[in-house]
Amino acid sequence: MQQLSPQQLAAWLADPAREKPVLLDVREPWEIEICRLRDSVHIPMASVPARKEELDPEADTVVVCHHGARSFQVGVLLEASGFRNVFNLSGGVDGWAKQVDPGMPQY
């Protein structure tokens, strides 16, 4: 699984020539209430095995959590399930807030 830094993801999202990835946020609902990346799809980590059919296995999928550990685990599961283009946001939303969007609430 490929790792993406917050800066790499920001550049990808800002590039009009590149198709936007699916941003899969696997945090808990209470975490989403605090902050989230715009246009992200929310499926809590524990629900991903039962709900992965809601996702396109051919799409570029960036998995997001708070610091990058839960998203890495979900990425491994998705790859084992046949997803081809899975990326882990290293540092998670915490890294995004610190490196890309300092106005984002942190917890």
What are the catalytic residues?
65
Half-sphere exposure (Cβ direction) of 36: Cα atoms closer than 13 Å: 19
Count Cβ atoms within 10 A of the Cβ of residue 78 and give its class: 0-12 exposed, 13-18 middle, 19 or more buried: buried
